[in-house]
């Protein structure tokens, strides 16, 4: 599970072709390259803004403290991640790679007038597509609408000798074709209404659900995650899976990934880390989901060392049925000082579980193997880039988490970069009082980090499913992700107002919790709505989760005026009047959602999400859009990745790896297109 809360709250506060199979030096730099060090004081955090997006940069602190082998390990893992980036494009939509390559060829070869409005509109569209890894918005899932004409685009194709089939050009300009990447509308067939390329075009929701239901043994205490690494299509003999593996679907890119992972094994920091990498390689070679589980167990237990990583088909947010994982990669360097400060959260996981408001029968009697680290990010790819989460808790398999624990990481350098690239414009607009804004400025950063830690370490690791009940993706179906994120958020919210956190030295006072409550309600009921188009429902899982929690709490506390709606000078505000009662309400909703999850109560989960998390108050939405527009603050942020540059001697041996910080989003996208395009345009 990945955590995107800080991305939203920062918006509230400011509102971001070479093969590895041959010689490792084939794309390496020489010793003549000069790297200019940039410190926090002169580092450029924000590089540009367009549409609803802000492009930022992040630093890798502590790089020079790593040994040469550690630098090599981070480099090989980063290259491995980049080698697979074509896969997320194809997973997101079947025509994405064709469109991507056409756009890149135009940008590279067009020699016409680049000062005219149409060219600038074309570049705006192209950069939005790059940011989203496809032609659908990375968050709303709506297809982008070009602001330039089809006739102008046809001229660009001709002038640059770019070939793109007419039916694909029609997809770009016809708003009726494949207009939603992921649809969660319960009135429609979820697969036929979704453009995401995880199922064959004519596979229905019922067919896919029945296919996987027939493979599930609810008495199996260690079930594999059926469908995680495959595309389900109709073959000559009915439904069949096209497995992502070497020699299978996406085999060309996966072979490149394997090559870099094999290099990583040679510089692994310890035997446990090396063995986990070997299992990941075996999984990529075979596509065997039993091997995937063995890898996840080994990866969970490989906790020593400074370097860690996430790599493969993991999160299922892009699958409306919750089976299929999207490709992603994150390479991490431990921030020892920050990790030591936060280790107390993981060390007290059992206390948090025992003192939770969930029913006793839904509590874990023994919380095992929970680790938490704050990390510096060395590179991201696939579904993790350019739009980055700020916290991750893995693995997602419930039985592995219960038996072997989990790893939680807070992407500290990403959080820091988001904060550096922001400001206070949204706070000034949406905070009701000056004191509320001052509290956010003073305590908001600590509260965000603490909520992230509790969400990832305690929230996702807490609770258990009743014996004989299937996994949430089987029982709660399209509502599983939103309910899980709400459950984890509520764990964090409940404990943020617990004096135990002050006693543990995790927060200075309960003012941190109060500030977090203010921000969560402000965001869940108002600020996040600026991400929606007028008249739209909420479909993204994290947005649904936040509105469910805030709206349910608003209604539940209405009799005591726990949360008050205030209109002043024709502006709406939501103000928390009783933090203790709000904490009790959060605890009550946590118990309810855990019960839904533990018992697999689909109807109760559906009712909760549909009644509180989907529909939007249109008057409030219109107001939020108007108040936000005048601030000219991007709703979303993402990142240009640092570049790891090997330095070699005359024999071609790597003697060092330097970090450079590119500052041009377009240049990085074109460089990635040149060096990491391994898949055909149609797969």
Judged against a pLDDT cut of 90, whether residue 175 lies above it is answered with: yes
For 180, other C-beta atoms within 10 Å of its C-beta total 20
**Bridge partner residues of 235 (DSSP):** 238
Section 167-190 average pLDDT: 96
Distance CA 664, CA 604 (A): 48
Distance CA 53, CA 71 (A): 32
**Bridge partner residues of 568 (DSSP):** 571
Contact 263, 24 (CB under 8 A): yes
pLDDT of residue 29: 36
Asked whether residue 416 is assigned to any structural domain, the reply reads: yes
Asked whether residue 528 is assigned to any structural domain, the reply reads: yes
pLDDT of residue 30: 32
pLDDT of residue 37: 52
Tokens read off for 655: 């003697």
Question: What are the φ/ψ torsions at residue 288 (nearest 5 degrees)?
Answer: -75, 120
pLDDT of residue 13: 37
Q: Which pLDDT band holds residue 9 (cuts at 50, 70, 90)? A: very low
Judged against a pLDDT cut of 80, whether residue 132 lies above it is answered with: yes
Judged against a pLDDT cut of 50, whether residue 584 lies above it is answered with: yes
Judged against a pLDDT cut of 80, whether residue 635 lies above it is answered with: yes
19-33 core/surface letters (b: 16 or more CB in 10 A; e: else): ebeeebeeebbeeee
pLDDT of residue 19: 30
Asked whether residue 432 is assigned to any structural domain, the reply reads: yes
Q: Which of 357, 356, 515 is nearest to 13 (CA)?
A: 515
Total tally of structural domains belonging to the chain: 1
Judged against a pLDDT cut of 60, whether residue 266 lies above it is answered with: yes
Q: Which of 502, 518, 521 is nearest to 510 (CA)?
A: 502
Average pLDDT over the chain, rounded to whole? 93
Q: Distance of alpha carbon 141 from its chain centroid, rounded?
A: 14
Section 199-219 average pLDDT: 94
Q: Which pLDDT band holds residue 27 (cuts at 50, 70, 90)? A: very low
The alpha-helical segments, DSSP class H, found in 21-138 are 68-83, 85-92, 96-109, 117-132
Judged against a pLDDT cut of 90, whether residue 218 lies above it is answered with: no
Asked whether residue 581 is assigned to any structural domain, the reply reads: yes
68-107 pLDDT, tens digit per residue, is 999 999 999 999 999 999 999 999 999 999 999 999 999 9
Distance CA 92, CA 549 (A): 29
Asked whether residue 365 is assigned to any structural domain, the reply reads: yes
Distance CA 623, CA 532 (A): 12
Distance CA 299, CA 310 (A): 10
Q: Which pLDDT band holds residue 20 (cuts at 50, 70, 90)? A: very low
Distance CA 299, CA 288 (A): 16
111-120 pLDDT, tens digit per residue, is 999 999 999 9
465-502 core/surface letters (b: 16 or more CB in 10 A; e: else): beeebbbbbbbbbbbbbbbbbbbbbbbbbbbbbbeebe
pLDDT of residue 38: 57
Helix axis angle, 434-453 relative to 480-496, nearest 10°? 110
Judged against a pLDDT cut of 90, whether residue 673 lies above it is answered with: yes
Distance CA 246, CA 279 (A): 14
DSSP assignment of 156-169, as one string? HHHHTT----HHHH
Distance CA 200, CA 232 (A): 6
304-348 pLDDT, tens digit per residue, is 999 999 999 999 999 999 999 999 999 999 998 888 888 899 999
Distance CA 205, CA 199 (A): 10
Contact 538, 532 (CB under 8 A): yes
Portion of the chain with pLDDT greater than 90, in percent: 88
Judged against a pLDDT cut of 50, whether residue 21 lies above it is answered with: no
Tell the burial category of 239 from Cβ atoms under 10 Å away from its Cβ (0-12, 13-18, 19+): middle
Judged against a pLDDT cut of 60, whether residue 683 lies above it is answered with: yes
pLDDT of residue 116: 96
Q: Which pLDDT band holds residue 638 (cuts at 50, 70, 90)? A: very high
Pick the range with the lowest mean pLDDT from 237-246, 406-415, 549-558, 663-672.
406-415
Specify the higher pLDDT residue, 422 or 379.
379
Residue 651 to residues 26, 463, 654, 655, Cα–Cα distance (Å): 13, 56, 9, 10
Contact 423, 432 (CB under 8 A): no
HSE-CB of 380 using CA atoms within 13 angstroms: 24
pLDDT of residue 501: 97
> In terms of residue numbers, what domain contains 349?
2-12+315-636
pLDDT of residue 446: 94
Distance CA 311, CA 329 (A): 4
Q: Give pTM, 2 decimals.
A: 0.87
Query: Residue 46 in 3-state DSSP?
Result: strand
Q: Which pLDDT band holds residue 26 (cuts at 50, 70, 90)? A: very low
Contact 483, 596 (CB under 8 A): yes
Q: Which pLDDT band holds residue 245 (cuts at 50, 70, 90)? A: very high
Q: Which pLDDT band holds residue 370 (cuts at 50, 70, 90)? A: confident
424-476 pLDDT, tens digit per residue, is 899 999 999 999 999 999 999 999 999 999 999 999 999 999 999 989 989 99
Asked whether residue 56 is assigned to any structural domain, the reply reads: no
Q: Which of 343, 352, 463 is nearest to 410 (CA)?
A: 343
Q: Which pLDDT band holds residue 4 (cuts at 50, 70, 90)? A: low
DSSP assignment of 246-302, as one string? TTSBTHHHHHHHHHHHHHHHHT-SSHHHHHHHHHHHHHHHH--HHHHHHHHHHHHH-
Asked whether residue 336 is assigned to any structural domain, the reply reads: yes
pLDDT of residue 42: 84
pLDDT of residue 32: 36
Q: Which pLDDT band holds residue 419 (cuts at 50, 70, 90)? A: confident
pLDDT of residue 8: 37
Judged against a pLDDT cut of 70, whether residue 491 lies above it is answered with: yes
Asked whether residue 366 is assigned to any structural domain, the reply reads: yes
31-53 pLDDT, tens digit per residue, is 333 344 556 678 999 999 999 99
């Amino acid at each position: 599970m990945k955590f995107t809360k800080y991305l939203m709250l920062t918006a509230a506060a400011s509102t971001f072709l070479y093969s590895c199979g041959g010689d490792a030096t084939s794309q390496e730099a020489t010793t003549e390259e000069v790297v200019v060090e940039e410190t926090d004081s002169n580092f450029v955090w924000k590089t540009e803004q367009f549409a609803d997006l802000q492009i930022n940069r992040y630093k890798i602190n502590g790089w020079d403290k790593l040994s040469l082998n550690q630098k090599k390990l981070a480099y090989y893992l980063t290259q491995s991640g980049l080698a697979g980036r074509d896969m997320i494009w194809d997973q997101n939509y079947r025509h994405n790679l064709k469109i991507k390559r056409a756009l890149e060829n135009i940008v590279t070869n067009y020699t016409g007038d680049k000062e005219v409005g149409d060219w600038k509109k074309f570049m705006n569209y192209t950069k939005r597509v790059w940011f989203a890894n496809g032609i659908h918005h990375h968050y709303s899932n709506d297809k982008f609408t070009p602001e330039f004409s089809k006739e102008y685009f046809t001229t660009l194709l001709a002038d640059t000798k770019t070939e793109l089939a007419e039916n694909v050009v029609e997809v770009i300009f016809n708003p009726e074709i494949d207009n939603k990447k992921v649809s969660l509308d319960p009135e429609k067939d979820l697969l036929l209404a979704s453009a995401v390329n995880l199922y064959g075009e004519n596979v229905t929701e019922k067919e896919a659900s029945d296919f996987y239901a027939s493979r599930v043994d609810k008495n199996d205490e260690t079930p594999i995650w059926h469908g995680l690494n495959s595309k389900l299509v109709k073959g000559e003999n009915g439904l069949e899976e096209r497995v992502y593996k070497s020699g299978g679907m996406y085999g060309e890119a996966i072979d490149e990934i394997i090559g870099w992972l094999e290099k990583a094994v040679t510089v692994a920091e310890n035997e446990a880390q090396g063995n986990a990498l070997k299992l990941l390689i075996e999984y990529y070679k075979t596509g065997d989901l039993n091997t995937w589980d063995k890898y996840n167990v080994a990866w969970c237990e490989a906790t020593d060392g400074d370097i860690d990583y996430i790599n493969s088909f993991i999160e299922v947010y892009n699958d409306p049925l919750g089976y299929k994982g999207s490709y992603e990669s994150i390479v991490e360097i431990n921030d020892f000082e920050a990790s030591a400060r936060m280790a107390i959260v993981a060390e007290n996981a059992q206390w948090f579980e025992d003192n939770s408001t969930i029913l006793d029968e839904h509590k874990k009697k023994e919380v095992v193997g929970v680790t938490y680290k704050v990390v510096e990010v060395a590179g991201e790819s696939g579904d993790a880039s350019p739009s980055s989460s700020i916290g991750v808790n893995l693995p997602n398999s419930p039985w592995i988490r219960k038996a072997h624990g989990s790893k939680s990481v807070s992407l500290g350098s990403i959080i820091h970069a988001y904060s550096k690239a922001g400001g206070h414009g949204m706070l000034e607009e949406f905070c009701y009082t000056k004191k509320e804004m001052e509290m956010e400025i003073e305590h908001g950063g600590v509260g965000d980090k603490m909520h992230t830690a509790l969400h990832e370490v305690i929230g996702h690791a807490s609770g258990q499913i009743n014996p004989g009940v299937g996994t949430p993706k089987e029982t709660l179906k399209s509502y599983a992700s939103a309910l899980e994120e709400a459950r984890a958020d509520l764990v964090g919210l409940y404990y943020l107002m617990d004096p135990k956190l002050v006693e543990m030295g995790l927060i200075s006072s309960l003012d941190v919790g109060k500030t977090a409550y203010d921000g969560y309600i402000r965001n869940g009921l108002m600020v996040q709505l600026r991400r929606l188009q007028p008249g739209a429902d909420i479909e993204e899982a994290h947005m649904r989760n936040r509105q469910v929690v805030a709206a349910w709490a608003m209604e539940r506390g209405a009799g005591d005026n726990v949360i008050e709606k205030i209109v002043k000078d024709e502006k709406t505000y939501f103000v928390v009047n009783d933090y203790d009662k709000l904490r009790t309400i959060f605890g009550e909703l946590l118990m309810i959602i855990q019960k839904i999850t533990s018992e697999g109560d689909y109807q109760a989960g559906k009712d909760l999400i549909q009644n509180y998390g989907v529909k939007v108050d249109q008057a409030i939405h219109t107001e939020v859009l108007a108040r936000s527009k005048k601030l000219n603050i991007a709703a979303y942020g993402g990142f240009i990745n640092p570049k790891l540059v090997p330095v070699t001697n005359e024999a071609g041996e790597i003697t060092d790896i330097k970090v450079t910080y590119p500052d041009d989003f377009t240049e990085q996208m074109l460089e990635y297109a040149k060096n990491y395009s391994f898949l055909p345009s149609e797969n």
